Amino acid sequence: MAEYESCITPLLALAENSDTVTGVTFATSTAALVGHVSRTLIVVGQEDFIAVEAVAPAGVVIVGVSSENAWHDADGNPAEALNRIIDRASADSSVVIWMAGAATNAALHDEAKLLGLHFAYLGASSVKYVREGHAATILGARPDDAEERRSYLARIIDAAGGLGKRPPVGRPKKSKVPAARASTRGGSAIAPNVDMDNGTIWVAGSEGQRVVIAEFAATITATYRVFDDLKDPGANDATFMHDLEIVTVRDGRRVEHSLSAISDANLQHPRGWLNKLPGGTQVVYSVMNRTGEAIASAIRAHEPAGTIPQIDVLTRTGWHETSDGMIGFLSVSGLLTADGMCDHARSQLPKSLSMIALLDTALLERKKEIQAARNTRAMYKELTDANVFIALWGVACHAVAGLGLGAVGVLVGKPGSGKSTVAYGISAHAAKEFNPDGRGMFTVDATTANVNRAGSALHELFFIIDDARKRETARKAEAMAEGIELIVRRGYAGGFAGHAGSVQNPATGVWESGVPDLGSPAMLLIGEQLPDSEGDGLDSTKERMYPAQIELGQNIFRSGNARRYIELSTSELPQVHLAAFISWLAAQMSGDTDGRAGWTARWEAVRRSAEDARADIPVSTRVRKVSVVPQIGMNVWLAYLLAIGAIDEQEYEDDLAEIEVLTRKTALTHGTENVTTSGFEWESIMNSLRASYASGLAVIIRAKRGGNAGDHVDPDFQLTQKLLGFEKVGRGDTPTYLAMQPRDVLAILRTESKYRGLTEKDLIAKFAPVALTDPGKKHKIAVFGGVRTQTLSIPMALFENERADAISQSATDQTNPASAA
C-alpha cells in the first residue's frame, strides 16, 4: 500500500465533501486504488452503496451516487469528482453501473444510459450494467458471511452486460397480484388470459377452472410500424413488429426475458421466438388446433389500449420531422436531434448496412466535438490535392445537409495510388467497419443487377462504390458502363432516377408499374478509370460527375505515405464528427423560423448565386451546376467548423477561397476532358491552363486594338496572379497567337501536384503538334519587355475556340475574352 499513499489524502478529502456538493462518495477502503486498477463499480443509492462497500471485491474501486440524478447538477453538468476518477484511470479502464430499477423504469433507464455515455466520452474502454434489484436486498439475502458475499458480488460484477431496451414511458411497475385477478388484468373477454406473475397463458374451463395452454407469459412492451415513408407516406403498406417481455418459471423460480423485433405475424408461431431464449426449447405450450392464434390474441390483448408506445421505423436514413415537430436524422440507433438521440423514430437498414448507427451526442463535450472536427479537417489537409477530398466529402456533406443531390463524386487513380484509402477514410464517418483497415461499402462487378439498388436505403447519407475499372472483354466493359450509368444517374437525380420496377398487386395478382425508389444517397464512385470517351454513349452521364484524379506517380499524402491518414480515420473521431455535424444541422433547422424548409431555402439561394457566378465558364449548364454541389457542401461543413471554434475566421476564408478556385477549375477541365490516367498530352495541359485563366489564377496581357500587347503590366494585374503570356498579332499568314515562356507555364502548372515532375523540355515536346514556330526552328521568337525571346506559342483561336466548342447555348462572342477586349 505504500505506493498508493500519495493519492489517499486528496481522494479522502474529496469524499468528505462530495455528499453535500455532488452526491458522489468514494469508498474509503478502495480510494487508494484509483488510477491503479482497471475496474470501477458505480453504485446508485445510499443503502446499496453501504452494502457494497462492506464487501468490496479486490481490485475494484467502489463509488457511490446518492440517487439516480445526483451525479449531475440541475443544468446537467456532470460531477467533477467523476471526471477526476476517469481521467486517472488506465487506458483499459472499465466501468460497471448498478442502478436498481433501470431495467424496468424508463426514467431510471435514461439516467443510467446518460451516466454510461458520460464515462464513455471520458475514455472508459467499456461501460456495463448490473440489471438486478437493490444491492442491499440481494446481498442481505446471502448467508451472513462477508467472504461469501464478497465472492457473490464479484460474480455479479463479472456478469454485467448491456443496459437493454428502454422500458415504455409511463408503464406502471407490475406488482404481485392474486392469481384470481390475473384473468381481468388488461385482458379481453374473448382472448385467453396472460398471467405475468405466474408465467402462464390460460383459458377458463367449462366449470370455471383454469386450463393452462402455455407455460410462459408474454406481453408487448413496444410496437414498431415499419414502412417506406417516401413511397408510402400514409403507411398503408406498413408491417408491424413488437418487443416482448416474456416470463417463464423454471424450478419454481420466475425468470424474465426480453425479445426484440418479433413480427406481428409471428406472434402465432411462438416456437420460433421461444427458442431464442436461454432454455427456451424446453418451454411448452398446447399443440391443439389454432392454439398459436389464441396465444397471439392473448398477447395482443394483455395491455390496455394506448399504454404501449408505437414507434415509427422507416426503411431509410435521412431527415425526418415527427408529428410533434421534432426534426432529426434517422439511423438504426434512433432519431438524432439537436439535443441528442431520441426514440421517437428510427431506421431499418439492410443487414450489410446495419452497422451504420449514428452516435448519441446528448453528453458530447465541446472539447471532444472540436477534437473530432479537427481530426476530419486534418484528413483534408493531409492530401496534397485538396480537390480529391472535396470531390468526396463535399458531395457527401451536400446530401447530409438535406440539400439534395446534383452530382456524383468520382475519384480515379492507378492501383496503389491511395484512392481506396482516401475513400474509406470518408466512409469511416458512417461506421468504423468501413475504415481503411476495414471493408468497402460496395464493389461493382460485371452485372447491372448487382447495382440496381445499391445504397438506396441511405437516403441523404452517402454510399461509396469501389472498383470501377476497365474490364478485359467487350461484354464486361459494356456491363460495367451500364452499371456506372445506373449509379451516376441515381446519384445525380435521386432514387432510381425516376425508373419504377413492376410489382404484383396482392389483391388482384396482376403485375403493375410500381412507385419509383425515392431514396437519394450521395453516390461516390472510386476506380482506376471510367469508360473511354469515344463510343460509349455516356457523355451526358459523365457531365453528372464531379471528378478528381490521383495522377500516376503522384504521392497524395503529404506525410509521404498513408500511415498518418489511416491513423486519423481509424479512431472513433470520424463517427463522433459526423454525428456532431448532423446534430448541429438539426439545431440550425429547428432554430429557423420556417423550420427545415426555411434553412434549406437559404442555402439553395447560395447555391443558385454560385451557379450564376460561373456563367462565364464556357461549359454546359449541367457541368457548371455539378461543380457547385461539392463547393456548397464544403461551405456548409466549414460553417459548422467555424461555429464550434474548430477553425478561426482566417482559416475559414482561406479554405473557402481554395475550394472556389478548385471547383471552378474542375468545371472547366471536366467540361472538355474525360477523366483517365493516360498521361500529360497537350490537350490535358491546355485544359489546366484554361482553368487557371478562368479561375483568375493566371492572366493574359491582351493586344491593344490595332497592335500588339504592350510590355506594361495591366493595371488589374494582381501580385498573387501568374502571367500566362502575351497576346500577339501575327504578320502575314501567322494568326494572332498566345506567346508564353515555358518557365511561366510551368509555374502555373506546378500549382497542381500532378505536373510537378514536368520539365520545360517535356512541355515543348507535348505542344509540338500545335505550336507555332519560326522557319527551321523549334520555337517562335517574340518580344518580351523589349527583348527577343524564345517562346512557346500557340494560336489564340486554339486557346479560345476549344473553349467555345464546349458551349451548348451561348454565342461565341459572349464567352470569348478576346472579343470582349
Task: Give the DSSP H/E element, type plus range, for residue 474.
Answer: helix 474-493
Helices (H), 510-592: 539-543, 563-569, 573-591
Residue pLDDT, tens place only, 100-128:
988 888 888 888 988 888 887 777 778 89
Query: C-alpha grid cell for residue 613?
Result: 457566378
The DSSP code for 548 is: E
Q: What is the predicted pLDDT for the residue at 777?
A: 77
Residue pLDDT, tens place only, 587-614:
999 998 898 999 999 999 999 999 999 9
The DSSP code for 167 is: P
Query: Could you give the CA distance from residue 806 to residue 817 in angstroms, rounded to a whole number?
Result: 15
Query: Could you give the CA distance from residue 354 to residue 356 in angstroms, rounded to a whole number?
Result: 5
Q: What is the predicted pLDDT for the residue at 810?
A: 28
Q: What is the predicted pLDDT for the residue at 673?
A: 53
Residue 351, pLDDT > 50, answer: yes
Percentage with pLDDT > 90 across the chain: 31
Residue pLDDT, tens place only, 299-340:
988 865 456 888 899 999 999 998 888 999 999 989 999 999
- CA-CA distances (angstroms) from residue 780 to 448, 724, 730, 749, 763? 53, 16, 11, 21, 15
Query: C-alpha grid cell for residue 485?
Result: 450509368
Query: Could you give the CA distance from residue 167 to residue 256 in angstroms, rounded to a whole number?
Result: 14
Query: Could you give the CA distance from residue 195 to residue 193 in angstroms, rounded to a whole number?
Result: 6
Residue 497, pLDDT > 50, answer: no
Query: C-alpha grid cell for residue 209?
Result: 377452472
Residue 57, pLDDT > 60, answer: yes
| Three-class secondary structure of residue 199 per DSSP | coil
Confidence at 397, pLDDT banded by 50, 70, 90: very high
The region that residue 348 occupies, defined by phi over 0 for left and psi between -120 and 50 for alpha, beta otherwise, is: beta
Chain centroid to CA 213: how far? 48
**CB 491 within 8 Å of CB 519:** no
For residues 619-648, give the mean pLDDT: 94
Residue pLDDT, tens place only, 771-806:
888 887 777 888 776 788 888 998 888 887 543 333
Residue 689, pLDDT > 50, answer: yes
> Tell me, what amino acid is at 373?
A
Q: What is the predicted pLDDT for the residue at 183?
A: 35
Q: What angle do CA 12, 18, 20 make, to 5 degrees?
A: 135
Most confident of 379-388, 690-699, 805-814: 379-388
Confidence at 669, pLDDT banded by 50, 70, 90: confident
Query: Could you give the CA distance from residue 192 to residue 201 in angstroms, rounded to a whole number?
Result: 7
Determine the longest span between alpha carbons in the chain, in angstroms: 121
**448 or 156, higher pLDDT:** 156
| Strands laid side by side in the 327-331 sheet | 318-321, 327-331, 334-337, 340-342
**234 or 649, higher pLDDT:** 649
pLDDT-wise least confident of 79-88, 199-208, 564-573, 796-805: 796-805
CB neighbour list of residue 203: distance below 8 Å, 6 or more residues apart: 192, 193, 210, 211, 213, 294
Q: At what angle do helices 682-695 and 649-670 cross, to 10 degrees?
A: 140
Residue 35, pLDDT > 90, answer: no
Most confident of 52-56, 133-137, 378-382, 684-688: 378-382
Residue 190, pLDDT > 90, answer: no
Q: What is the predicted pLDDT for the residue at 215?
A: 94
Mean pLDDT of the chain: 80
Residue pLDDT, tens place only, 721-743:
788 888 888 877 778 889 898 98
Q: Is 0.85 surpassed by the pTM of this model? A: no
**CB 186 within 8 Å of CB 304:** yes
Percentage with pLDDT > 70 across the chain: 79
Query: Could you give the CA distance from residue 525 to residue 607 in angstroms, rounded to a whole number?
Result: 23
Confidence at 702, pLDDT banded by 50, 70, 90: confident
Query: C-alpha grid cell for residue 407?
Result: 452530382
Task: Give the DSSP H/E element, type plus range, for residue 684.
Answer: helix 682-695
Residue 132, pLDDT > 60, answer: yes
Look up cell 434553412; give the residue.
599
Q: What is the predicted pLDDT for the residue at 237?
A: 86
Confidence at 763, pLDDT banded by 50, 70, 90: confident
Query: C-alpha grid cell for residue 802?
Result: 476549344
Confidence at 469, pLDDT banded by 50, 70, 90: low
User: Nearest-CA neighbor of 581 among 740, 425, 375?
Assistant: 375
Confidence at 440, pLDDT banded by 50, 70, 90: low
CB atoms within 10 A of CB 155: 9
For residues 273-280, give the mean pLDDT: 92
Residue 704, pLDDT > 90, answer: no
Q: What is the predicted pLDDT for the residue at 795?
A: 87
Number of helical (H) and strand (E) elements in the chain, helices listed first: 25, 29
For residues 379-395, give the mean pLDDT: 95
Q: At what angle do helices 106-122 and 80-88 cross, to 10 degrees?
A: 50
User: Nearest-CA neighbor of 30 among 2, 6, 63?
Assistant: 63
Q: What is the predicted pLDDT for the residue at 770?
A: 83
Query: Could you give the CA distance from residue 236 to residue 62 in angstroms, rounded to a whole number?
Result: 53
For residues 468-478, give the mean pLDDT: 60
Chain centroid to CA 735: how far? 55
Q: What is the predicted pLDDT for the residue at 711?
A: 45
